[in-house]
Amino acid sequence: MLTAVPEQTIEATSLERPWRVVGQGAAALAAGMGIGRFAYTAILPLMLAHAGLSPQLGASLATANYIGYLLGAVAAIIAPAMAASRTTLRLSLVILIATLALMPLTHVGALWWLLRLVAGVASSLIFVVAVNAMLTGLRGHAHHLTGWAFGGIGAGIALSDVVVLILRTAGLQPGAAPRRRPRRAGRGRDRRAAPSLPASPRPTAPTGRHRPTDAHQDPSIRPLISDH
C-alpha cells in the first residue's frame, strides 16, 4: 500500500540533494584551487622578505605547480576510474594539506619544488573529481547551480587572502622581528643617561668704587693709562 507524501516534503527533498552537491563541490574546489594554489599569491611577498625566496626560485616553484596540474590531468585521462573515485578525492585533499603544512618547515629550494609539484598533482585531481561529481549530481537541475559550485574557487581565494591580511596586520609574519615603538629623543632612558653639567656662576655687577678693569692689570697698556 502506497502512502501519500505531502507535496511540500517532495519539493524539500528534491531541493536538498542538489544544494548538498553544490556545497560539497564548492568546498572541494575552495580547498583544492582557492587555498591550495592561490594562497601563495598573498604569501609570496612574505616569502620573498622573510624566507629567503628569490624571484628565480619563486618562478621555479610556480612552474613545478603547473607541471603537477598537467600530470594530474593526464593521470585522470589514463585512468578514468580516478575521476569518479571518492577515495582519490579524499586522498588528494590529505596530500594537499600535508604539502601546505610542510612548506614552512624547510628552506631548501629543492624540497619546496617537490612539494609544489605534488601539490599541483593533488589540486588537479581534486578539480577533476569534484567537477565530475558535481556535474553528475546536478544533471537535470537548474544550470545556475553549477555556477554556485564553481564559486567555491573564489571563496577559497578570498578566505586565504583575508587570513594572510589578518596575520600581516597583527605582526605575525613568519621570521619577522617583533615590532617596537621608536623612542623619542630626550625622553625615557636617554634623557636620564645624559650627563649633568655643573651650573655656571652668575656674573655679579660691579658696585661702588671698586670697579675691576683688565686695563690696570695688563702691563702692556699700563703706560698709556698713567699718561692720562
What string of pLDDT tens digits covers the 228 residues of the chain?
Answer: 444 434 343 334 344 588 888 888 899 999 988 888 888 877 877 788 777 788 888 889 989 999 999 999 999 999 989 888 889 999 999 999 999 889 888 888 899 999 999 999 999 999 999 999 888 888 878 788 888 989 989 898 898 888 888 877 876 544 444 444 444 444 444 444 455 555 555 655 555 555 555 545 555 555 544 555
Nine-digit cell at 105?
A: 618547515
DSSP string, 64-117: HHHHHHHHHHHHHHH-GGGGG-HHHHHHHHHHHHHHHHHGGG---HHHHHHHHH
**Cα–chain-centroid distance for residue 47?**
9
Query: Phi-psi region for residue 141, left (φ > 0), alpha (ψ -120 to 50) or beta?
Result: beta
User: What residues contact 86, with CB distance under 8 A and at least 6 apart?
Assistant: 129, 133
User: What residues contact 219, with CB distance under 8 A and at least 6 apart?
Assistant: none
Secondary structure of residue 6 in the 3-state scheme? coil
pTM: 0.64
| Measured CA angle at 121 (ends 115, 123), to 5 deg | 95
Which ranges in the chain belong to alpha helices (H)?
7-29, 39-50, 55-78, 86-102, 109-137, 144-169, 189-193, 214-217, 222-227
Q: Which of 44, 32, 29 is nearest to 120 (CA)?
A: 32
Rounded CA gap, 159 and 166, in Å? Answer: 11
Rounded CA gap, 72 and 133, in Å? Answer: 17
